């Protein structure tokens, strides 16, 4: 989608050239500065109780008198915070996209449009227009809507341009991640993930390396190998690098769980909703999507993305409950539950990350159903023993409107991981399962600053709206940008 800005005062909106005008109206009354040719029908609708200035309420006007634009949609946005504005734009574009318009202009009425609003408009519009069609030839035809213009004051031009640029890059990263997540597991294999990473590298001049089984065996990644051994699909260990700063600057390392399908292995999952386990690689999709956004924005920072990718399948060669494996770190693990496989592939990736001498490492994984029970589907679970790093990630979540909530990591939780036969078990008791999973990962991160994002509740939606969300690409992108010098 083409994102642009246009300078105009609220009093001149009736002369805006576009196919549709989306008015995001803030406050409890229509702002007095609004063009009278638009304010009059809005106020009349309010007086006739045909419209209310309650957040989300819409009023459509077709060819209002004296207005150049043929289609006008007014959406109430409450007090006008960025979150409310984003919701209003998403709802407005969602309605306009079916009207035949190719170009929509967006104006904020009753407040001044700024950089955060501009980013929110770009990401909201992209989300409203998203349609998965890679394996669905019968999907509806794409909307003709392909251009969005933000109407702003001259004083806000630079800020709006910056917000649109960032929003467009984040939207592209989110779309990239959503397409990977939505693609069925017989299409999106570890090999396909590796191919997509290589393609990303070619398009954005990134260094991409893909390790195969022999490479992984040489590195001693016994934990990762154990998960992959039950599948006929070959494992892939993907390492991609964006170098935007001096070589001496320590990189940010993002590690994404890449289980392209998770049956649970020998500890097999119930059949109901198992199809959604194609989404178990959404951590991998999100770090690759973030890399795509960062590569477009070109901040002065170094980023390394690591993706251990494989399937978790039941087979005569599959790892069994009670088996003991040796991780790359040398620590041994008793695999008590083969369905706790994400942490088994991540732990070797976290050890591998040491070689980059990172400024910080953030792993992202659809790790535990327990996190869904704890936080539902709104907040991503954030775990870190580093208060400063946790604060930076929370700040990024707020700035990006991609919410996360910090969870505990008290040492007492590690008691549940003790094993009589190995250095640790891969699962603890049912209580605080998301925490004990994070405590397991923590055992492999002692040489750098580390945080873990459990996206089991936020990476995809179920039901009628089933599909990948692309989260937490916005959060991660803002975090990486905040580390630029």
Count of alpha carbons within 13 angstroms of residue 402, beta-carbon side: 29
Q: Record the tokens describing residue 83, joined without a space.
A: 């979150």
CB 48 within 8 A of CB 40: no
Among the listed residues 250, 254, 273, the one whose alpha carbon sits nearest the alpha carbon of residue 263: 273
Number of H helices, E strands in the chain: 13, 20
In this prediction, residues 13-29 reach a mean pLDDT of: 95
pLDDT, tens digit, 9 for 90 and up, residues 156-205: 999 999 999 999 999 999 999 999 999 999 999 999 999 999 999 999 99
Q: Record the tokens describing residue 243, joined without a space.
A: 């170098």
In this model, does residue 464 exceed pLDDT 80?
yes
Q: Which of 58, 83, 198, 269 is flagged as catalytic?
A: 269
Give the whole-number percent of the chain exceeding pLDDT 90. 95
In this model, does residue 5 exceed pLDDT 80?
no
Provide the residue ranges of all domains of the chain, joining segments of one domain with +: 2-150, 174-482
Q: What is the mean pLDDT of the chain?
A: 96
Tell me what pLDDT residue 183 has.
Answer: 98
Residue 54 CA to residue 76 CA, distance in Å, equals 6
Among the listed residues 222, 280, 286, 293, the one whose alpha carbon sits nearest the alpha carbon of residue 256: 286
pLDDT, tens digit, 9 for 90 and up, residues 228-253: 999 999 999 999 999 999 999 999 99
Task: Detail the DSSP E strand segments found in 87-161.
Answer: 103-109, 147-152
pLDDT, tens digit, 9 for 90 and up, residues 326-379: 999 999 999 999 999 999 999 999 999 999 999 999 999 999 999 999 999 999
The reply to whether 343 belongs to the active site is yes
CA dihedral 236, 241, 247, 252 (to 10 degrees): -90
Domain 174-482 CATH assignment equals 3.40.630.10: yes
CB 317 within 8 A of CB 230: yes
Angle between helices 282-297 and 190-204 (to 10 degrees): 0
Q: Record the tokens describing residue 65, joined without a space.
A: 């008198």
* b/e 338-357 (16+ beta carbons within 10 angstroms → b): bbbbbbbbbbbbbbbbbebe
- Parallel, antiparallel, or unpaired for β 404-406 and 360-365? unpaired
CB 279 within 8 A of CB 385: no
Q: Which of 236, 241, 343, 442 is flagged as catalytic?
A: 343
In this model, does residue 61 exceed pLDDT 80?
yes
Q: What is the DSSP letter of 424?
A: E
Q: What is the DSSP letter of 412?
A: G
Q: How far apart are the first and last CA of the chain?
A: 30
What's the topology of domain 2-150? Answer: 3.40.220
């Amino acid at each position: 989608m083409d994102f642009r800005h246009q300078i105009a005062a609220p009093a001149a909106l009736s002369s805006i050239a576009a196919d549709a005008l989306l008015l995001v109206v803030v406050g409890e009354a229509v702002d007095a500065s609004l063009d009278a040719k638009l304010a009059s029908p809005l106020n009349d609708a309010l007086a006739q109780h045909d419209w209310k200035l309650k957040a989300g309420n819409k009023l459509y006007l077709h060819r209002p008198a004296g207005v150049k634009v043929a289609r006008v949609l007014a959406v109430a946005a409450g007090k006008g915070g960025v979150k409310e504005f984003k919701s209003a734009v998403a709802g407005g574009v969602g309605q306009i996209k079916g009207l035949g318009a190719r170009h929509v202009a967006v104006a904020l009425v009753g407040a001044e449009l700024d950089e955060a609003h501009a980013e929110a408009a770009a990401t909201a519009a992209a989300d409203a227009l998203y349609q998965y069609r890679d394996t669905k030839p019968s999907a509806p035809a794409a909307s003709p809507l392909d251009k969005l213009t933000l109407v702003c004051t001259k004083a806000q031009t630079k800020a709006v341009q910056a917000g649109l640029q960032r929003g467009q890059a984040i939207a592209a990263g989110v779309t990239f991640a959503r397409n990977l997540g939505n693609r069925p597991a017989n299409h999106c294999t570890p090999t396909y993930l590796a191919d997509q990473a290589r393609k990303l590298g070619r398009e954005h001049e990134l260094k991409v390396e893909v390790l195969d089984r022999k490479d992984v065996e040489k590195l001693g990644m016994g934990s990762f190998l154990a998960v992959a051994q039950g599948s006929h699909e070959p494992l892939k260990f993907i390492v991609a690098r964006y170098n935007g700063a001096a070589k001496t600057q320590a990189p940010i390392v993002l590690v994404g769980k890449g289980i392209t399908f998770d049956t649970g292995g020998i500890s097999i999952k119930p059949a109901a909703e198992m199809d959604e386990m194609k989404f178990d690689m959404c951590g991998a999709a999100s770090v690759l999507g973030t890399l795509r956004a960062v590569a477009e924005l070109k901040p002065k920072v170094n980023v390394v993305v690591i993706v251990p990718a494989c399937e978790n399948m039941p087979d005569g060669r599959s790892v069994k409950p009670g088996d003991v494996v040796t991780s790359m770190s040398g620590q041994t693990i008793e695999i008590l539950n083969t369905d706790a496989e994400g942490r088994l592939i991540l732990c070797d990736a976290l050890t591998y990350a040491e070689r980059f001498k990172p400024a910080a490492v953030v792993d992202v994984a659809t790790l535990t159903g327990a996190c869904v029970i704890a936080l539902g589907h709104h907040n991503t679970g954030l775990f870190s023993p580093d208060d400063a790093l946790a604060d930076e990630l929370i700040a990024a979540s707020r700035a990006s409107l991609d919410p996360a909530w910090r969870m505990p990591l008290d040492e007492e939780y590690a008691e549940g991981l003790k094993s009589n036969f190995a250095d640790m078990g891969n699962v603890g008791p049912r209580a605080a399962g998301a925490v004990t999973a994070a405590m397991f990962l923590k055992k492999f991160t002692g040489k750098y600053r580390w945080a873990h994002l459990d996206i089991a509740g936020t990476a995809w939606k179920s039901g009628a709206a089933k599909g990948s969300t692309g989260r937490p690409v916005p959060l991660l992108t803002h975090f990486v940008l905040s580390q630029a010098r």
